[in-house]
Amino acid sequence: MGEFDCYCLLCSGPLVPCDIGSTSRGHLTRRRRRICKKLRAIEEGRSFDSFASDSEHDSGSDQDGDDPDGSDGEVWEQDERRSYDPDVATSERIEWVEDVRVLGMAMKKGEGDEEGIGRSFISGRANYDDAGLIYVEQGDDPHQPSISEKSYYDCYVPSNDNDVVFPFHTHCMVVLEEAFKWSYAHSRRSKERSVPPLTHNIPKDGIPLSNSSSFDLNTLYKTATRICSLTNLNLDYGGISGVDQCWECIPGEEYSVIDPLQFSLDALDLDYKSPSTPNPRLLTRPKVSGRATIDPFQSLPIEILHLICGYLPADALGAFLTASATAYFATKNESFWKFLCLERVPWAWEVWRGIEGNNDVDGGSEKQGAGTGEDAKQGKGIVEVDYKRLFFCLERNTAQRFGLGVEAGAWLGLVNRRRIWDVCGRLLEEYWKDKGS
């Protein structure tokens, strides 16, 4: 069958180390020039061949800033077109892709169990080999078969006639756990669902899941089996381009391999009261000229306007509020924006927990924005949280797009987390179908 890569169950990212490009000034200059050209082509709807010869830009001339010691020439230019920017995909940001586990099913025989009844398990650390084969270490899950009996499996399909498992990154499983809790809490049918206690945890050498009720891994295994393909699941993984026969490190798509848990409020320096916004007009009362006094939305109930706003993408929502004075005034209430933040941006859970923690004055249960000025000076609470500004700030800075680079800074991890969260939402839709069956 030949060599091929399999990918993470949850993000469809690589299970092996990524290729990082040269730090040479010349190669960095040419790399970023190609990304700019490809970005322009994308915006203009044109195709762009990243491997096309470009003697003007790839000649390695001194004007590109090549290293004077000649080391720049030792790097193959074709390899530079299949690797990530070393200033963006740093080792600290991408080493998480090697922290892999597998979700498997152990068929129990004897020991009081009915013949053929399976129990799901999460393995210890796993190492992907090739052609679907993955080796595992012994983990803490008592349901995992002993590695003396079974130390290797097939990913997704029995390519090598072995038992089938589903590989995942430890950090992606944490995102799935958070997405599940949010999905369950916001489901209209949540009261009808029975959520089992947490029976599986990521091994102690990884990042533990929370000790709250969790999804049923038996059902998750069943769902993955139903919707799997050869190397990942039949899900929309957010339009990333690296998934091929073998993983391609696409320059300009570094965000797809950045650690989704590498996110710090301190690193972002996010001001809850006045963070940056994509456009001041989004937050300014619209000026309605005398000729445009009729607003087609003015006859709609405020509840309907809120529903419309809830479905609009951030850019379209900003334009809508600018164009319609009725919509603008219908969303003046801060509670609407708080609700929209929690509904549309749940993947930024550190932000919401940070706000809750800062507003918990002296261990009490003060409401958002209820702290006094003196409280704020002493760091006991936040006087006001502008959820509207916060919504547009988070939406703008985490929008997935080609060419995100050094300028994106600490936001890159959250960009990838938002993508993975969306994938988890699609997976959970399939999960609930099997859970209810």
Range of the domain at 388: 265-414
Summarised one tens digit per residue, pLDDT across range 60-87 is 443 444 454 444 455 566 778 889 999 9
Res 124: pLDDT: 96
Are residues 325 and 288 in contact, defined by beta-carbon separation less than 8 angstroms?
A: yes
Q: List the beta strands (DSSP E) in 111-249.
A: 118-122, 126-130, 133-136, 152-155, 164-169
When pLDDT is cut at 50, 70 and 90, the band that residue 203 belongs to is very low
**Quick check: is 396 in a domain?**
yes
Output phi, psi for 6, to 5 deg: -110, 160
- The secondary element (H helix, E strand) that includes residue 176 is helix 170-185
> Are residue 308 and residue 385 in the same domain, yes or no?
yes
When pLDDT is cut at 50, 70 and 90, the band that residue 379 belongs to is very low
> Are residue 398 and residue 368 in the same domain, yes or no?
yes
> Are residue 311 and residue 374 in the same domain, yes or no?
yes
Summarised one tens digit per residue, pLDDT across range 336-370 is 999 999 899 999 998 888 887 765 533 333 333 33
- Geometric angle at alpha carbon 185, from 233 and 195, rounded to 5°: 70
Res 60: pLDDT: 43
> Are residue 44 and residue 139 in the same domain, yes or no?
no
Summarised one tens digit per residue, pLDDT across range 245-303 is 999 999 999 999 999 998 777 777 665 564 444 444 444 555 555 445 688 898 999 99
Q: What percent of the chain has pLDDT over 90?
A: 51
- Picking from 395, 397, 367, 371, the residue whose alpha carbon sits closest to that of residue 382 is 371
Structure tokens at 239: 């339009």
> Are residue 152 and residue 250 in the same domain, yes or no?
yes
Res 186: pLDDT: 74
Segment 382-411 shows an average pLDDT of: 86
Segment 303-327 shows an average pLDDT of: 93
- Average pLDDT of the chain, as a whole number: 79
Residue 312 has pLDDT above 60, yes or no: yes
> Are residue 295 and residue 377 in the same domain, yes or no?
yes
Residue at which a domain ends, from 53, 82, 111: 82
> Are residue 292 and residue 338 in the same domain, yes or no?
yes
> Are residue 161 and residue 236 in the same domain, yes or no?
yes
Residue 236 has pLDDT above 90, yes or no: yes
- Geometric angle at alpha carbon 71, from 65 and 73, rounded to 5°: 75
Res 294: pLDDT: 80
Structure tokens at 380: 């006991």
Higher pLDDT: 114 or 234? It is 234
**Quick check: is 230 in a domain?**
yes
| Cα of 308 vs its chain's centroid, Å | 26
> Are residue 103 and residue 247 in the same domain, yes or no?
yes
Residue 2 has pLDDT above 80, yes or no: no
Residue 434 has pLDDT above 60, yes or no: yes
**Quick check: is 376 in a domain?**
yes
**Quick check: is 166 in a domain?**
yes
Res 27: pLDDT: 87
Higher pLDDT: 424 or 359? It is 424
**Quick check: is 59 in a domain?**
yes
Cα–Cα distance measured from residue 11 to residue 341, given in angstroms and rounded to the nearest whole number: 23
> Are residue 384 and residue 270 in the same domain, yes or no?
yes
When pLDDT is cut at 50, 70 and 90, the band that residue 97 belongs to is very high
Res 353: pLDDT: 85
Global pTM value: 0.81
**Quick check: is 306 in a domain?**
yes
Res 319: pLDDT: 93
Ranked by mean pLDDT, which of 167-171, 301-305, 401-405 comes out on top? 167-171
Higher pLDDT: 170 or 281? It is 170
Tell me how many domains the chain contains.
3
> Are residue 213 and residue 344 in the same domain, yes or no?
no
Res 285: pLDDT: 52
Summarised one tens digit per residue, pLDDT across range 22-61 is 988 888 888 889 889 988 888 888 877 665 655 444 444 4
> Are residue 275 and residue 152 in the same domain, yes or no?
no
Sign of CA dihedral 279, 284, 285, 290: negative
Higher pLDDT: 311 or 274? It is 311
- Picking from 125, 152, 132, the residue whose alpha carbon sits closest to that of residue 228 is 132
Res 356: pLDDT: 76
**Quick check: is 178 in a domain?**
yes
Cβ neighbour number for residue 432 with a 10 Å cutoff: 18
**Quick check: is 11 in a domain?**
no
Ranked by mean pLDDT, which of 16-25, 34-43, 101-110, 181-190 comes out on top? 16-25
